[in-house]
Amino acid sequence: YCFLFPDGLGAVFGDFSCGLRETWQAEKVKEYTPTERINYQKMIEDAQKKAAGDQEKEYAEAALRAQKEWEELPPSTDEHAYLTRKKVRNHGLRQSDTLLVMPLYDSSGVMTTYQTISSEGEKKLMYGGRKKGSAYPIPGGLLTVYIVEGYATGATVYEATGCMVIVAVDAGNMLPVAVEAVKKYNPAVVVASWITP
């Protein structure tokens, strides 16, 4: 997002996917008065609130779209080429043509987006959905809760242990997912793994 202020001498910009939040101001000839400084700070805060509100609206629309698309898909089978190549089974995924579809949920269990996985292992997130903190849980025993990057790793861990596994999609999302898992489950049982098969 980027908002240029009405005077053309300042702006607020950022990127929600990586948490970037910045302001820019053209070089001023004279210093701000205390009132101008307060007004400028308010413009920054208002612009950031508007950007956050717009982003939340986009996330909500994407979540509805993801849920609708998910409900129309048939379940996948263990015979999908990606699953057979990785030597794992299907644990709740669905299929769209040749793509596996893995839904991602927030910590309250609401679907936020989904990831597709091709037969060759190419992975893509649905455009516009919220990834940060969203994950795919493979239900199992709660003796240990494993947090892993990708589906194949998650399925491998689940099949070996029978324990719950939470698939975070990528390394950059593991910490937000782990924070939510620690809130939801006993912190002593949550284990994060960056090891992939």
112-159 pLDDT, tens per residue?
999 999 999 999 999 989 999 999 999 999 889 999 999 999 999 999
Q: Report the C-alpha gap between 98 and 79 in whole angstroms.
A: 11
The token pair that represents 35 in the structure block: 């009132």
103 pLDDT band (50/70/90 cuts)? very high
Which DSSP helix (H) or strand (E) runs through 2? Answer: strand 2-4
pLDDT in tens, 5-41: 877 778 888 887 767 788 888 776 677 789 888 988 8
- Greater pLDDT, 168 or 185: 168
Task: State the pTM of this model.
Answer: 0.77
Find residue 164's DSSP bridge partners.
145
Residue 4 has pLDDT above 50, yes or no: yes
* Burial environment of residue 97 by CB neighbours within 10 A (0 to 12, 13 to 18, 19 or more): exposed
Asked if residues 53 and 45 have their Cβ atoms less than 8 Å apart, the reply is no
- Strand ordering across the sheet containing 10-15: 2-4, 10-15, 20-25
Which DSSP string do the residues of 137-171 spell out, in sequence order?
EE--EEEEEEEESSHHHHHHHHHHH-EEEEE-SSG
Residue 169 has pLDDT above 90, yes or no: yes
The answer, yes or no, to whether residue 196 has pLDDT greater than 50, is no
Question: Is 172 in a helix, a strand, or coil?
Answer: helix
